[in-house]
Amino acid sequence: MHPQRFLIATGLTLVGVLLLAALGAPFISPYDPTAINLDAMLSPPSAQHWLGTDSLGRDVLSRMLYGGQISLLVGLVAVGISAVVGIGLGLLAGYYGRWVDGLVMRLVDVMLAFPTFFLILAVIALLEPSLVNIMVVIGLTSWMGLTRLVRAELLRLRGLDFMHAARLQGVAPTRLMLRHLLPNALAPVWVAITLGIAAAVLIESGLSFLGIGVQPPTPSWGNILMDGKANIDVAWWLSVFPGLAILLTVLGYTLLGEGLRAWLEPRQARR
């Protein structure tokens, strides 16, 4: 199998399995993820609890399945927000140039001057740590790469013959950007979006692990890991299984993104 096909197939398989598990959580979860059973506190993996239980006797498998929904939601919504902002600003900067381009790129420079994760920490610390706030903050602090990608593609495309022909025909700027430029600039954007989902999952897990992300009793891979840290000496499964879930999710999206990059770049070069 060609390497790029292998990367895409492996990434799609990992992502597909995890998405199916998350979406099917209400049907395949053996227990209520928030049900407390003090008689089964910190029980190791067994026939009754395949991945063991946590410090409150809650089933880890059930909590991980529902935690996958949180990761899926955060990844998609946060990347959706960053894509809308990043693509919109990139279109304006790349098409109009001059002072518009300068203003947008200075804004990008200002945002890139702050370490993203610490900026998110600072904003979340000032706001109520809720799922909506987490998704919005991640989305609004991760658009800069997309803006630079779209801008670079538009700078390349706007000098081509089809753009000159469209301008001579009197095509409106908005139609030019949305119908002609944007579709031809999306190849690297899809790669960035795929990798951005992996980054959003990592950020959400990190925030929940620190206690300022998704709040208990809502299950999240990050807060399961937080519980595992407190019981690392007696409950290894609380650290291993959510850690593996995060690893496989990030690996799946990364392989998919790298496969798309390898597949799309030769096509772009032939244009």
Q: Encode the chain in three state secondary structure.
A: CCHHHHHHHHHHHHHHHHHHHHHCHHHHCCCCCCCCCHHHCCCCCCCCCCCCECCCCCEHHHHHHHHHHHHHHHHHHHHHHHHHHHHHHHHHHHHHCHHHHHHHHHHHHHHHCCCHHHHHHHHHHHCCCCHHHHHHHHHHCCCHHHHHHHHHHHHHHCCCHHHHHHHHCCCCHHHHHHHHHHHHCHHHHHHHHHHHHHHHHHHHHHHHHHCCCCCCCCCCHHHHHHHHHHCCCCCCHHHHHHHHHHHHHHHHHHHHHHHHHHHHHHHHHHC
Domain boundaries, the chain: 3-28+56-270
Predicted pLDDT at 271: 52
Q: Round the average pLDDT of the chain to a whole number and report it.
A: 87
Q: What percent of the chain has pLDDT over 90?
A: 48
187 close to 262: Cβ distance less than 8 angstroms: no
First to last CA, the chain: 26
Predicted pLDDT at 125: 77
pLDDT band at residue 113 under the 50/70/90 scheme: confident
207-223: per-residue pLDDT in tens? 889 888 888 888 999 99
Q: Between 205 and 160, where is the model more confident? A: 205
The answer to whether domain 3-28+56-270 has CATH 1.10.3720.10 is yes
Find, among 86, 68, 72, 71, the residue nearest to 192 by Cα: 86
Separation between Cα atoms, residue 73 and residue 22, nearest integer Å = 10
Predicted pLDDT at 263: 81
Average pLDDT over residues 153-172: 75
Instruction: Tell whether the model's pLDDT for residue 268 goes beyond 90.
Output: no
Instruction: Tell whether the model's pLDDT for residue 267 goes beyond 60.
Output: no
Cα Rg of the chain (Å, integer) = 22
The answer, as to whether pTM is greater than 0.85, is yes
Predicted pLDDT at 269: 46
Least confident stretch, 17-26, 181-190, 228-237 = 181-190
